[in-house]
Chain A
């Protein structure tokens, strides 16, 4: 195999990994604060991609080829997905938060089914083709020709991760989020409105999921009501692999999983059929050795 082909595989791994990472961040942010798995996150991601498709269909001139149009496409889809996530938290999780740890989890599964069926019944039962606004052709890097689309996906994902990093590390609200993740009750006693922080966390996580939905649509060229399930499950796996609740862990886990899949399908005979098996086997092995994930801290039981 030539160098260019290896390089192409690396870029494939990075692209897939970047999408997984973005989704995984949504799981991990929520888990970090509420210690719950937001099973509806895969549907938030799906809704983000449908929001983008809606815009591209109803306002094709504005959301056409220009970079500005592309940015607007992302902004609107992220806002829609973020808002959906906030509403889901407000009406399906918050009322159950104090009842038991299991109740919001079940509610999340319910929301996931409701959202999926809503799109299935009201929008389309079939796959819809997703426009690829303004990005086409190949770019030559190190003699390998890489699709411009992949570079856009990678760039957008990395840019969003950098933005998230800045937000969490350097803003007041980011510090409040970390404080809540560290100790929920104490954060309240230090003047932080925990419900507000939770809402913002869901918005940020949902927005990242929405962006991932758009990238997913661009990458595969079509979207469907159930598109969230598989990447959602894998991104959840990635978050656990990296250490759920840990932001860097989610990114690391996402890229590892993306690479594993690409390597499996690119370098192992018949690997494409085996790639999920290989990826999940690695997950199981890692968890046997490090139950808290690669970057996860050992969890002390909170009093």
Chain B
């Protein structure tokens, strides 16, 4: 158990280049346990690419990522999940032909052990584990407020519910760090408020949250700290109030004054 104030995630000089395009470059930042941190920036600033390097979708071109002190850059996605990083997606990517409950159960894949022989022989260990996985998945559906929809196919759920289901599925892997890519995209204000409350409750479970967010009201509301990206580079960081007053941030969003 690390104490408060220790870096859960530390990124040093991270870069992801695609040919000549520096999608992410020279990014240094660190996140402490228990924080809610937002990443903001104009479209094309490299926010999602950054998340993709963190979660092993891209290998990264240079630099280091330490999670709990262990280097994780370049590991396979499923390895990174195993170490305690889970995520959701900008455009919802549920397993659409599976039920809500099954989606969450799949999220638990990395935390269970029964493999081939157990299921085939219906061993007691296997049956107990299946029961445990199912009850845990139901508990998570309950947590995000979707218990009654457990047997619906994911593709038939309303949009807001799909977003919440992604959070439940990510939580199923028992992450220490939950990465949310635009969790409120396309939501109305009621759904937004729901999701903000959910993110807070996720933190209360002891999970650190890193999110990309475009709605400034949401950012101001829930973030402990904010990182600002522009052209792949981190141009500012600080408390939400400080960041919105930062001249470089205003310039990135609105252009140079008098230009």
Binding site for B on A (CB under 8 A): 167, 170-176, 178-179, 182-183, 185-194, 200, 297, 303
Contact = CB atoms under 8 A, between A and B. Distances in A.
Interface stretch (B77-85, B209-217, B223-231, B240-248): B77-85
B93 A191 contact: no
Nearest to A196: B78
B95 A191 contact: no
Given A178-B98, A190-B173, A173 B116 contact: yes
Contact of B89 (A172, A173, A186, A188): A186
Residue among A182, A191, A194 facing the most chain B CB atoms (10 A cut-off): A191
Interface of B: 55-57, 76-78, 81-82, 86-87, 89, 91, 93, 95-98, 102, 105-107, 109-112, 114-116, 119-120, 130, 133, 169-170, 173
A192 B106 contact: yes
A173 B113 CA distance: 10
Contact of B78 (A172, A191, A297): A191
A250 B169 CA distance: 30
The 7 closest A-B pairs by CB, nearest first: A191-B110, A191-B81, A171-B119, A188-B77, A182-B95, A186-B93, A179-B106
B55 to A, nearest CB: 6
Nearest to B97: A182
Contacts of A172: 105, 109, 112, 114-115, 119, 130, 133
Given A172-B114, A172-B119, A173-B115, A191 B107 contact: yes
A191 B79 CA distance: 7
Residue among B81, B96, B98, B109 facing the most chain A CB atoms (10 A cut-off): B109
Contacts of B111: 191
B211 to A, nearest CB: 16
A185 B76 CA distance: 11
A190 B77 CA distance: 8
Contacts of A170: 119, 130
Contact of A191 (B96, B120, B133, B173): B173
A4 to B, nearest CB: 40
10 contacts: A170-B130, A172-B105, A172-B114, A172-B130, A189-B55, A189-B56, A191-B81, A191-B82, A191-B86, A191-B111
Residue among A173, A174, A188, A200 facing the most chain B CB atoms (10 A cut-off): A188
Contacts, number: 86
Contacts of B107: 190-191
A193 B133 contact: no
Given A170-B130, A190-B106, A192-B109, 11 more contacts: A172-B105, A189-B81, A190-B107, A190-B109, A190-B110, A190-B170, A191-B78, A192-B106, A192-B110, A200-B116, A303-B91
Contact of A185 (B57, B98, B112, B169): B57
B119 A193 contact: no
B93 A175 contact: no
B106 A189 contact: no
Q: Is the interface of A mostly helix, strand, loop or mixed?
A: helix
Nearest to A186: B93
A182 B98 contact: yes
Nearest to B169: A190
Given A172-B112, A186-B89, A189-B87, A178 B97 contact: yes
A176 B57 contact: no
B95 A188 contact: no
A275 to B, nearest CB: 35
A296 to B, nearest CB: 12
Contacts of B119: 167, 170-174
A133 B76 CA distance: 48
Given A185-B57, A189-B81, A179 B98 contact: yes
Contacts of B115: 172-173
A191 B96 CA distance: 17
Given A188-B76, A189-B55, A176 B109 contact: yes
A172 B125 CA distance: 13
A167 B120 CA distance: 8
A297 B56 CA distance: 30
A102 B119 CA distance: 36
Nearest to B89: A186
A194 B78 contact: yes
Contacts of B109: 172, 175-176, 179, 190-192
Contact of A190 (B81, B91, B112, B116): B81
A173 B89 CA distance: 24
B78 A188 contact: yes
Nearest to A183: B93
A188 B93 CA distance: 12
Contacts of A297: 97
A280 to B, nearest CB: 30
Contacts of B173: 190-191
B70 to A, nearest CB: 17
A188 B55 CA distance: 10
Given A173-B115, A190-B173, A193-B76, A183 B106 contact: no
Given A172-B112, A172-B114, A175-B106, A192 B78 contact: yes
